[in-house]
Structure 1
């Protein structure tokens, strides 16, 4: 690309160059370096695949623009002058830097490097989201991933202010949250103490839990879990007994392991081992109970890494849609 082919703002960044030098092209530099390396115009033209006259014209134009002789000519070939040696070192560095810049831009444009920020309201211990992240890391190892965990409102705020590229959270796709897709429907399990009588069952119905004492976190996704319990138990004409604790997931599981209550959870949390806790899958009207989980992002986010992630997410979601049975 010729220097004068650059957009006007870029050309304006080069006010110190003489006007005649602004017409020097990258191809001129490539030809000059080829002649320098070959030690002759004939050899250089053969290596470049262009005629000797074209090589000669480019060298002459380069010398005229610079106002110095770059080569000493003789019947044996050409030799760099003092100015030619100095110019060749700087020209080679310039061409190499440009080649690297172009390559880096292409790689970034293809989403093969860069950065992706993910907000998660779930565990990555197992399940489709873990599979997605693992596959993405294997396919695009040059992309840096960062993860954030917070309540839903904070994650959505970060997403809308472009500090996050994508949020993975429970719920069906919602147009109010921007662009979104249903990623998976995960089976629901009940976490119970291993010595609890419910732990011996192959599966559980909500009718088995009418007298159960539920322990739930006050923090996300605790309120959502509480709403789910209330809805399911009230459908049976009973009032659920729920105790809220200012504990994280690990703290709630500790209470379950001590026999102080039970707690529903989705399959992705079942990849973590908690002392004296086991997980029993839930059924509703004879079918495995599942909850939807969606990916949410901004449609105007042009991060190539995000586009690659979403493309792979659709592959994983399509494969996972074949079965919603507990693993």
Structure 2
């Protein structure tokens, strides 16, 4: 089956080989629609004599008459009818192709593939995704949660379009944008001695036993806890559990340890788990959260997503004030 683009290209090549222009074909369609050379001239914004010359040129090239002329107007011949019908089909197909390209260019359709190391339960990233889905309902969204190394590999091989992960913007893996700074919380059981505190700092938890997930983003959290507690000259007590986020929070609720979580986790309720803001010298402790993408990726949906993300990031920075 011949594609629409191929049909249109063939029409253009055929016109060139026959010393015809596309406006010659357009003139035939206009006369067929209007039923007269004079009315067709008005539709096209040209004189009746110009319409006559174009039709005569086409008839001379093809060697057939397109119309039966009379005092009352112009009527398609059998050859003219076939020519006009097929030409209109190709013209409509070409318009469909143009509209499809324009729709894709405004992210009206297509697909956006995102890699994540964080939950979408709350925060600016959730806002970006929700607004994008609302504005571009025809775009298919797909998500992959994995460790950062695996996601960056997928990004390099273009199996995903953008990665959302903790970290400062760098140019190591492509273009990056700081989306927000994410507040950190300590997750404890409902009967833990820290419950009731408005906030805690690292000195309050440095001697306590932490549990982290072996799954993403557990390794990143593990390393962060070690670095922060080492500032107090202590060795962190951390137990790695082979469980995902939900399972880990269930262990916290059972009193088997405390854990460090980002604000995104706090949008989900877990049995007997309380989240306490983590602060340092009275200031909320935060970590940067960035989006990374390949600059050569020309996916229109990605461009629209990043444009929306910049709006959200600007609004978030304005509301948060200096960090």
**Length-normalised TM-score, structure 1:** 0.90
Match of 1:250 in 2: 246
Specify which of 145, 149, 156 is matched with residue 153 of structure 1: 149
Tell me the residue number matched to 2:225. 229
Match of 1:143 among 139, 144, 148: 139
Find the partner of 2:20 among 11, 18, 24.
24
In 1, the alpha carbon distance for the partners of 2:314 and 2:237 equals 38
SS in 2 for 1:192: strand
Mark the CA change 1:117 to 1:160 in structure 2 (over 3 Å): closer, same or farther: same
Partner SS state of residue 86, structure 1: helix
Distance in 1 (CA, whole Å) between partners of 2:16 and 2:246 is 71
Counterpart of 1:193 (choices 178, 189, 193) is 189
Q: How does 1:244-323 map to 2 (within 5 A)?
A: 244-323=240-319
Pairing of 1:96-175 with structure 2 (within 5 A): 96-175=92-171
Whole-Å separation in 2 of the counterparts to 1:136 and 1:298: 20
Residue 250 of structure 1 and its aligned partner are, at CA, apart by 0.8
Alpha-carbon separation, structure 1, partners of 2:10 and 2:93? 17
SS of alignment partner, residue 199 of structure 1: coil
Give the Cα separation in 2 of the matches to 1:73 and 1:155.
69
Q: Aligned-pair distance for 1:20?
A: 6.6
Flag the 1:212–1:22 CA change in 2: closer, same or farther, 3 A: farther
Structure 1 unmatched runs, 5+: 1-9
User: How many Å separate the matches in 2 of 1:222 and 1:20?
Assistant: 64
* Structure 1 position 64, deviation (Å): 2.5
Distance in 1, matches of 2:245 and 2:157, equals 28
> Is 2:219 aligned against 1:219?
no
Task: Give TM-score scaled by structure 2 length.
Answer: 0.91
Alpha-carbon distance in 1 for matches of 2:122, 2:130: 10
Counterpart among 77, 83, 87 of residue 91 in structure 1: 87
Inter-CA distance 192–32: structure 2 relative to 1 (3 Å threshold)? same
**Alignment length, in residue pairs?**
314
Deviation at 1:290, TM superposition (A): 0.3
Change (3 A) 1:28 1:146: farther
Aligned to 2:3: none
Q: How does 1:72-87 map to 2 (within 5 A)?
A: 72-87=68-83
> What is the CA–CA distance in structure 2 between the aligned matches of 1:19 and 1:187, rounded to whole Å?
65
Moved over 6 A (4+): 17-20
Is 2:227 aligned against 1:238?
no
Q: Deviation at 1:30?
A: 2.2
C-alpha distance in 2, partners of 1:99/1:14?
Answer: 15
Contact 2:185 2:275 in 1 (8 A): yes
Deviations 1:182-208 (A, max 9, x none): 111010011111222222111111111
Structure 1 residue 63, shift from structure 2 partner: 2.1
Select 1:40's aligned residue among 21, 36, 42: 36
* Cα deviation, residue 168, structure 1: 0.7
Displacement of 1:66: 2.5
Q: Which residue of 2 aligns with 1:4?
A: none
Q: Does 1:204 align with 2:200?
A: yes
Aligned to 1:5: none
Distance 1:108 1:72 in 2: 44
